[in-house]
Chains A and B, each alone.
Chain A
Amino acid sequence: MNDSRLSRRALIAGAGTAALAAPALAKLGGMIDLGLPGGPGLRPLSPAFPGKGEMIVQRIRPPLLETPMEAFAKGIITPNDRMFVRWNWPFPTEVKAAEHRVAIGGAVKQAVSLSLDEIAGAGEHVEIVAINQCAGNGRGLSEPRVTGTQWGNGAMGCAKWTGVRLRDVLAKAGLAEGAKRVRYAGLDVTLTEGAPQFIKSLPMDMAMRDDVLVAWAMNGEPLPILHGFPLRIVVPGWFSTYWVKMLAAIEVLTGEDDSHYVAETYRWPSVPVTPQAKDFPTVPITAMPPRAFITSHADGAVVAKGEPLTLEGFAFGGDAALERVDLVGTGRGGGWEIPCDLGPDEGGQYAFRRWSVRLPQVAGDFEGIGVRAKNVKGAVQPESLVWNRSGYARNVIERITLRAQ
């Protein structure tokens, strides 16, 4: 409720209320302009979906809802009613808790079918704050443009997830000799016979990790249906394509996974490619790279000449903790950079973290400034887009221009 009131206020007040303004997103009568190069970039903010606040409706069926950037202007947690929604295929609109089962089979000692209570009793309950980000987040901003869901940068969010470890759930069945990958499926089904089901898999070392969960709660609430009730996989640091929703089946594999969404898509080039390139090697898209955003000022916002200026935003390290954020000027090599102050580490290494920077005096326009995140593994946001034909893993420095007056 609060959030939608805030956003309405921002809409009325316009760019003057810098702290509430949505960067680069102009709202026009129930529509939002994502500013995608060459268009079309206009998206409706309706119809409303149950349990959701104001969202950018990319698609009604199956739902694709994008979070307006203003939802990231405060704090590090994305409320459930603002978390982005992404489904590939239709899913049941009703789930009976008592009837739900998770079947575990394949290379296991003993196939089992677990109730929700059995899942919840499989091990220690774990809470982790982690970013859920679509591999295609920001695809619509790719230049040259690529086909697929035309997201702005709002196909991400940060939430607190509660569940049990996937490895404790697997222990209910026991891994058999030669177990190599863990594949899982949700209740979403294809509409046509022979179309690929949305199933994904993790290599065993990931599946065994301390923080890879079978989660039932999001920000302390049961998972809403749109977010995968009753259970979803949580893989901190990896893109949400692995965070399968409505978990219903787990299969332990002894070899590679040749299913469509692992072997043929959600892959990207393992070498730099040009838009003309063909027949290049690809690898699955997995770990997230660092990203940073300015939330205090929209592109084109006016700032007071001669006055001090404070810029704010949030950043994340991806699959490792954030190390630093720098405000960077225009120009490769020749630009300037100013270190930003990081806010408190509220959510741990896989969470959003706030940053701010105070400039003593505005001397003139700021052309194409951006913020650049670096993680503790040394990964830094690049100056130019690492283009790929699927528009995956965008993490180029996002830039805005501020006008001094």
Chain B
Amino acid sequence: MSRLAILPALLILAACDSAPAVTFKDASITLPDDPLELPEGPGRDAVLENCTACHSPSTMLQQPKVSREKWEAIVGKMQKLYKAPIDDDAVPAIVGYMVHVQSQPEAAR
């Protein structure tokens, strides 16, 4: 209670003499579902299985068009840096899917 003495008058306006200046209440949120929307295309299942545990598909789908090598590097980064459990055998399918999707017109994605 003695700590109230050091608060500037301005901020204890709303508080009565013995109440703490700030009251903390519990907080919670219900986040919207992630529909995991990924356009059809060869390799879609590999991407669903390997690439959607940590983030929504939009993380991949919104990237600017990059090369196959860049997609390989991105998958490598997910494995090495973020420890994504990605089956090495699935990498060509994942990369192939991303290259395919990026070759489609935007409206189809």
Contact = CB atoms under 8 A, between A and B. Distances in A.
Chains A and B belong together in one complex: yes
Interface of A: 36, 38-43, 47-51, 57-63, 89, 93-98, 100, 116-117, 120-121, 123-125, 127, 140, 145-147, 150, 162, 190-196, 216-217, 222, 224-226, 229-230, 260
B8 A125 contact: yes
- The size class of the interface chain B forms with chain A is 35 or more
10 contacts: A47-B33, A59-B58, A60-B56, A97-B25, A124-B6, A124-B7, A150-B64, A191-B53, A224-B27, A260-B81
B31 A63 contact: yes
A145 B64 contact: yes
Given A49-B31, A120-B20, A196-B81, A60 B58 contact: yes
Contacts of B3: 121
Contacts of A260: 81
Given A48-B32, A123-B6, A196-B81, A97 B26 contact: yes
Given A120-B22, A145-B64, A230-B27, 13 more contacts: A38-B64, A40-B61, A49-B32, A50-B31, A60-B33, A62-B55, A97-B26, A127-B11, A150-B62, A190-B83, A193-B83, A222-B27, A224-B27
Nearest to B74: A147
B1 to A, nearest CB: 10
A329 B34 CA distance: 45
A41 B62 CA distance: 8
Contacts of A61: 31, 34, 55-56
Given A120-B20, A195-B82, A40 B28 contact: no
The DSSP consensus for interface residues of chain B is loop
A21 B102 CA distance: 31
A162 B21 CA distance: 12
B27 A147 contact: no
The DSSP consensus for interface residues of chain A is loop
Interface string B64-93: 111000100010000001111100000000
B28 A93 contact: yes
B53 A147 contact: no
Contacts of B103: none
A260 B62 CA distance: 24
Nearest to B64: A145
Most central of A38, A60, A96, A217 by chain B CB within 10 Å: A60
B59 A59 contact: yes
A40 B109 contact: yes
Contact of B26 (A42, A59, A94, A224): A94
A225 B27 contact: yes
Most central of A40, A41, A97, A117 by chain B CB within 10 Å: A40
B17 interface: no
Contacts of A51: 29
A230 B64 contact: no
Nearest first, the 4 closest Cβ-Cβ pairs linking A and B are A145-B64, A97-B24, A47-B32, A192-B83
Contact of B21 (A48, A120, A192): A120
A196 B62 CA distance: 24
A50 B29 contact: yes
A159 to B, nearest CB: 17
A30 to B, nearest CB: 14
A124 to B, nearest CB: 6
Contacts of A62: 55
Nearest to A120: B22
B30 interface: yes
Given A36-B64, A95-B27, A192-B83, A125 B32 contact: no
B54 interface: yes
B18 interface: no
Nearest to A116: B24
Contacts of A47: 32-33
A60 B55 CA distance: 8
Interface in B30-49: 30-34
